[in-house]
Structure 1
Amino acid sequence: MKTISELLEETAAHAVPVVRGIDDTQLAAPTPCGDYDVRALVNHLSMVVDNFRILAAKGEPDFSRTEDAVTGDWRDRFDEATTLLVKAWAEPGAEEGVSGGMKLPARTVGFMVLGDLVVHAWDLARATGQDYEVAPAVVAELLPEVAAMAPQAREAKVYGPAFPLPPGATAFEQVLAETGRDPGWRAPRP
């Protein structure tokens, strides 16, 4: 079993290049994530990364933040923010006890941010025509956590209804389907 920090580090190594690969002309493109276009999803993911760094330190996050993160050197800032997220979850005690504002087991909260980073990086890659890989070790640890969180996440409207999969779906396709995504989603052609 890997630490949350190790899992986040492996995921960030694949997610950051996706964010760096987004062209400004693609910011209004639709994504597999419901009502979010690329810009809105980058803003959301940036807010998540910042707030879950605070949660790793048992702090009180501000999920009401709405400023536009997609300004100036936003790609570099996202890279720096994910580095800080990995470091925050590597601190002694980060995975122990209860998180700050969420009042959930800290390791569960760590899997929440891992799931967001994995799935939203996939959303952004699909929306912008990029390749995206997830380390098999990350998927192996994430799938049971996503499945366990799914009922409550659906009730809170964080996940959509589970997407039906054919037999033989990969573990990563199962992760995506649990969150309500169609693993076969492709960006509409112009």
Structure 2
Amino acid sequence: MELQDAITQRRSIKVFRRDMNIDDDALYEAIQRATDAPNHGLRAPWRVVHIAKDRLGEMSKQLTEIAFPNLRKKQEDHYKVATNLGGMLALIVKEDPRQKESLENNMAFGAFAQNLMLLLFESGIGTCWKSPAYIFNPEIRKIFGVKDDERLVGLLYLTDLEDLEKMPHRERQQNQVIDKF
């Protein structure tokens, strides 16, 4: 697959209504390859926590007890969605108290994440990046082992590509990107 084709054709897969599986070996290879992202000072400020298919139910139960206490329906809905996935990645970036380095770390993490999603797409694994409000809850951070000098920036849902054609293709707003000085 050509890079431009992957950039153009990759979409967030948002259909989680059936049980699916992914190739964990392909996932790990894509994660390793994604680390070729540019990063200032070679700090590699990224880390992921893989929640394998067989651990999604347990993770969902722990997460929803904190995120949705006393909301049984929301807990059940999350469990159904989570256990249908092929897996999940908790996306974690290294914080830096220095303003410039913090910016560089965030930009590097974005490059890593884009590499990862494109490489996963190329490997036949679909993705959908979720950043729900509960990722900022210290108890949720603890579930994923997020350290004091790290930030949980999202959850990457992992799917197969069977539903890719059902996902709408949006026209990009390319003409609004460039201003002239």
**Relative CO higher for 1 or 2, CA cutoff 8 Å, sep ≥ 6?**
2
In terms of fraction of residues, the more helix-rich structure is 1
Q: Is TM more than 0.5 here?
A: no
Q: Which has the larger radius of gyration?
A: 2
In terms of fraction of residues, the more strand-rich structure is 2
**TM norm structure 1:** 0.27
**TM norm structure 2:** 0.28
